[in-house]
Amino acid sequence: MFSTTSTLFMGSLSFHRESWHGTPPPYRDVVEFFFFPAHRGTQIVLDDNTGSIQSLNRVSQWVDLAKGHEDAKHEHASFYPTRLLKLGSSVSETICLCVTKECAIEGEYATLSHCWGSGQPTKLETDNLEIMKSGITVSSLPRTFRDAIVVARHLNIEYLWIDSLCIIQNSSEDWQTEVQLMEAVYSNSCCNIAASHSINGDGGLFVNRDPYFTTALEVRAEWDNVEHQNIVLHPSDFWATRIGNAPLNKRGWVLQERVLAPRTIHFTHDQIIWEAQTERACKIYFDEFTRASPYEALWGTSGASILDLQKLESDLVTLYTCWF
């Protein structure tokens, strides 16, 4: 059964596993889907890892498209955090900590949202500040940090802000100073890299996946009283499963990071999802880059909701302080 509104269908399908040819999809017997016309004409093929060159090239395209759609206020930051990690070239085995007032900083920086987990990630302290300014071996960092460096370098972003490496963790004075800057840190970044599926620093950003189970299902619709057409099926809980219920987004402080950042790149358990203030994108989505209704139904939240939350920026700084 189904209902229609413009080009959007919503309904449920029953899968009879005993009559399925080949391996059945990993769905429940009855699943609620959103249906969209398949304008591409051919099914989208995903690669088998979200850290592949193909996947990261797609993210680069999203960044370029977003900059074309938005105003230029985020393209060249006038604000820089107190400290940033200078990433260097893609083949460099080291990065270094820069105190921005002491360095000639130009260009954009990215931020990282991540779960610390029960263990403590590599962190900046008073006794290793000078050492980190001299250089940090990339291989000594947790997997999530290493993956974030790969992403930023691929996007030609020279600097990265990670809380545990850019705030002196054993200095209450530095902590109190930096917490007051969180609104500016995230809102002036080029983008926020979110380790959405990872519960700690070892989870990383990139995951292996089976393209068979992660590619959108395209079917030929031949219902009565409806024009025959190919449609693409997306589970109605697509957004909630990958973003809303992800380990990272169960942590309170991430609300501010997600709302304030002009763009967030979510690395989920099987997809890379792009979220900007008025746009979203995912490789399996047939239009890929979406701006307005009816597509908001797929994502589970509207651009207006994000913008409404941004009106609370001053309160979010206070919330960040409390949650930490």
Q: With 70 as the cut, is the pLDDT of residue 116 above it?
A: yes
The pLDDT score that the predictor gives to residue 15 is 46
Q: With 90 as the cut, is the pLDDT of residue 189 above it?
A: yes
Average pLDDT over residues 103-122: 88
The pLDDT score that the predictor gives to residue 70 is 60
The pLDDT score that the predictor gives to residue 71 is 53
pLDDT digits (tens, 9 = 90+) for 19-44: 444 455 554 444 455 555 555 444 56
Order of strands, sheet of 94-99, starting from the edge strand that comes earlier in the sequence: 136-137, 94-99, 83-86, 159-161, 109-113, 191-194, 263-267, 272-276, 280-282, 289-290
Is the model's pTM score more than 0.75? yes
Average pLDDT over residues 85-112: 94
Q: Give the H/E segment covering residue 140.
A: none
